[in-house]
Amino acid sequence: MQCLQIITERATLEYANEKYVENVSIFITRYGRRSPYYMNILGRNKHTWTNNVTINVVFYEYLHNEYRRSFVELHFRLCDMLNSDPYVGAMVAKAGITCPAYSKMQYLVNMTVPTADFKYLVPFKKAMAELEFTITKTGESIAKARFYVTFVDKKKLI
């Protein structure tokens, strides 16, 4: 039986709109050589977030020494993602985010994507995931970050 492992090697914050968020930082950490990579996102949302915030994840495949946009895209409204998505939504909900997300300092620490029961094939091994938070009605950008990831198929011992 196969198991997918997602290794998030590094992250960069590309943009943060000061009208909606402040003190945003993103970093990846490891606690030892054999430890998994953990994603950490810290920041303060200045307004209450519900389904008024849309999360767009666009994957760029690493081909020929450059990242090219792929066909894999995920688009969620915040509350819908937290309540129904078994992967990204479960990871964020486990970190402590609830819906509605009230205006306060948010600490999403030591996050890993739960992939033990991942049912899908990933069409590439190395990619960049561009994560953008937008206002649902207007499409105005709140924040944008890039995560550089590697997908590894591990055999699951039964």
pLDDT band for 1, please (50, 70, 90 cuts). Answer: very low
pLDDT band for 155, please (50, 70, 90 cuts). Answer: low
The CATH number covering residue 62 comes to 2.70.220
pTM to 2 decimal places: 0.88
Q: In what order do the strands lie in the sheet with 141-155?
A: 2-16, 141-155, 126-135, 53-63, 66-77
Quote the pLDDT of residue 112. Answer: 87
Counted domains in the chain? 1
Which tens digits make up the pLDDT trace of 87-128? 888 888 889 888 999 999 999 999 988 777 777 778 889 999
Higher local confidence (pLDDT), 152 or 115: 152
Burial 15-28 (b: 16+ CB within 10 A, else e): ebbeebbeebebeb
Q: What range does the domain containing 15 cover?
A: 2-155
DSSP state of 139: -
Closest CA to 130 of 60, 43, 40, 61: 60
Which tens digits make up the pLDDT trace of 52-78? 999 999 999 999 999 999 999 999 999
